[in-house]
Copies of this chain bind each other. A is one copy, B any other.
């Protein structure tokens, strides 16, 4: 590995000049050429660690998500990555596994590695951002809102809940259950609230509490809840799934019980990228995950550049794609 000193010597200039060439400050054309030449010959790559140590900041942003195996988050990650790499930043993906302590470890690494900003979908409502915010680093919350005064990007979660439920009601279903994620995550709570409002208005006689389940945002969560609901003395005739994976689990269980979708109505909040189901049998509320990533990354970059305006929260609209094959 060659250093700026090697390059400087070969080019006949000072190390400072080499540094300037690689940082775009004014250097005479001839010296620029000489330096570039020498750098080429030595296949010189600037040592980022040294630069980071000196500058106390690096062009890396951390993206902390609770489940790397959920396509919703990986799609979002793609959005973040595209914007970031366009701007010369790298993205480090950190999987908190929905555990606050793992999350805290990654946050600590982000500080210790001088990363310039963080985009985070918090593991929990108890996620503590005090330390990271105390360092002055910008943090953008995605998918889930926080109690902190920071930028955020969220889906129109309540609207997603209402649209999904309305669509099932319009299709004639009545006992519409809801399977959501952990109750204390605002995203899950909001979607549930949307379902509750619409369903109460349409069928005030229903026992909503009996039709509602809170589970993990994973396939097994959806499966467990769906099994429970089917075992009810009076099972639901339709179900709203609070996220994509819960939807997969619920549909799996229904299929296994011989209740293929239009038979029991299904609406899923979130897309099902890898489903083999006939796409028209299930209502899908598409959530613009990639767009969420793009928006969050742009906001973060603005903050990194020094933008000081008050914290903003962007709410992303979603798009309902109704089941079409219902008889």
A interface residues with partner B (beta carbon < 8 Å): 1, 45-50, 52-53, 58, 68-69, 71, 74-75, 77-78, 81, 90, 92-93, 95, 106, 108-109, 111-114, 135, 219, 244-245, 248, 251-252, 255-256, 272-279
Contact partners of A68 in chain B: CB under 8 A? 74, 77-78, 93
CB nearest neighbor in B for A112: B48
**Which residues of B lie under 8 Å from residue A272 when comparing CB positions?**
274, 276
* Chain B residues, CB < 8 A from A47: 53, 112
The smallest C-beta distance from A279 to any residue of chain B, in angstroms, reads: 8
Known contacts A276-B276, A276-B277, then 18 further A-B pairs from the complex at CB < 8 Å, ordered by chain A residue? A45-B111, A47-B53, A48-B109, A48-B112, A49-B52, A50-B53, A69-B78, A71-B71, A74-B74, A77-B95, A219-B273, A219-B274, A248-B274, A248-B275, A248-B276, A255-B276, A272-B276, A274-B274
Query: Copies of this chain, how many?
Result: 2
Q: Which residues of B contact A46 (CB under 8 A)?
A: 112
- Give every chain B residue within 8 A of A90 (Cβ-Cβ): 106, 109
- Please name all residues of chain B whose beta carbon is closer than 8 Å to the beta carbon of A106 when the two chains form the complex: 90
A244–B275 Cα distance when bound, in Å, is 11
Q: How far is the CB of A327 from chain B (nearest CB, A)?
A: 16
A184 to chain B, nearest CB (A): 25
